[in-house]
Structure 1
Amino acid sequence: MSAANEKSLSEGKAWSICRMPSTAAISFLPSRRRLGLDPANKLYFPYEPGKQVKSAIRIKNVSKSHVAFKFQTTAPKSCYMRPPGGILAPAESLIATVFKFVEHPENNEKVVVQNCKVKFKIMSLKVNGEMDYVPELFDEQKDQVAVEQILRVVFLDTERPSPALEKLNRQLAEAEAELEAHRKHPEDSGPRVVGEGLVIDEWKERRERYLARQQVDGVDSV
């Protein structure tokens, strides 16, 4: 899948998982990771059919430059991320929360679906120092965008305690604490991220600001 064919969540589109990664796609992965992820390649969700559940993942900039990151998913209508993107300084990190609606199983069978088809992708882009995050950064510099990881969804049985479930609950609590700290002290917010709310609404607002700024810059340069 080429970067040119990818559609952002701001357009309400999903990226396809119908095709297996080609040699070209594999070479698109960065030779040296810009981001460290925990969990590394999965998103764990509590299995609660008919409810919106949450997962969490810590994202850390392990490079020596500022790095922008962005989420994409194969199921934008049932999933959204907080934040869907942002910019991290070297060694800076945050815990992103991922929300997903869990469908009821067929025939109302109580099963924990381990082979969920929904997947998420985290992309990265090296940027020049501190700046405001806008998703258009990834469109403007497509040749510099790297796919950091494709994350598959794994459901956890909430009635069976496990290390993965305990870790998920701990990370979710940390994510809420970080969000609360950001609300109280927005001027010391650290990572430059998109705010709260639905992803599509946030990105529309950011896009409007971005286009308005571009128009002003164009007028000033005349």
Structure 2
Amino acid sequence: MPKTNQILQIEPPEALVFTGPFTEVVKSTLSLTNPSDYKVAFKIKTTAPKRYCVRPNSGTLAKGETMSISVMLQPFEFDPNEKTKHKFMIQSLIIASNMEEKDLWQEVDKEKLMDTKLRVVFENEVPAAVEEVPKEVDVPNNLDISTDPVTITPHKSNFKEQDPQVPPSGDNNFQRLMEENKALSSEVNRYKEELQQLKRVAMSETKTTAATATTLQAAPGPTGISLLFHETTNIILILGLLVASFGIGLMLSSRLGA
């Protein structure tokens, strides 16, 4: 009779591997082969019997027979940082001709009992969630980002706002031009007032002439000449005002350009 620690050939020989996810029953297979010329009985034990279901967990193997054993791991909450300490042990015993199979494991001679221990390995197919690192965003220097990621507050500038149409107060040439412009504007306003006064005088004389013509019903010639004279005066004044305005514009443009 052979003298060895285990008469059976076991696959895998070192560890039972269970591949997750472990939210449902996970199955692993154990293969037992009897290469001897004897009939061999086997029995499978585990350190965590509530976590595993083994089918079949015991039996006999004839000469050269191979049997596949299903080991089913019950669902559990998997922790990749926790190392499992679960183990399996396959015990085997050569059946003598005078042994009854039902009495094999009641009174076992320890010297004839052989065993092999297998460790348990958990492998998770689903990788741990990788925390996404936010991409760096270039933020303008004139912006302040508050603790709220949605709110962006404009940075207060150290410079006071200035009217873009007004140059710095230190420009003496511009100040001089502005003063001349005021003087020209005053002169234009004076021309306008004189024109309005002439119009009022002309209207008054026209009314007087019309009243005289109605009363006398004669001498229309002098009335027409008077009206023509007043209209001509108005036209001359208007033309003078336009020429003065155009000259003022040219003067400002040339000085600003200088």
The TM-score normalised by the length of structure 2 is: 0.43
Greater percentage in strand: 1
Higher RCO (CA-CA < 8 Å; seq separation 6+): 1
The TM-score normalised by the length of structure 1 is: 0.49
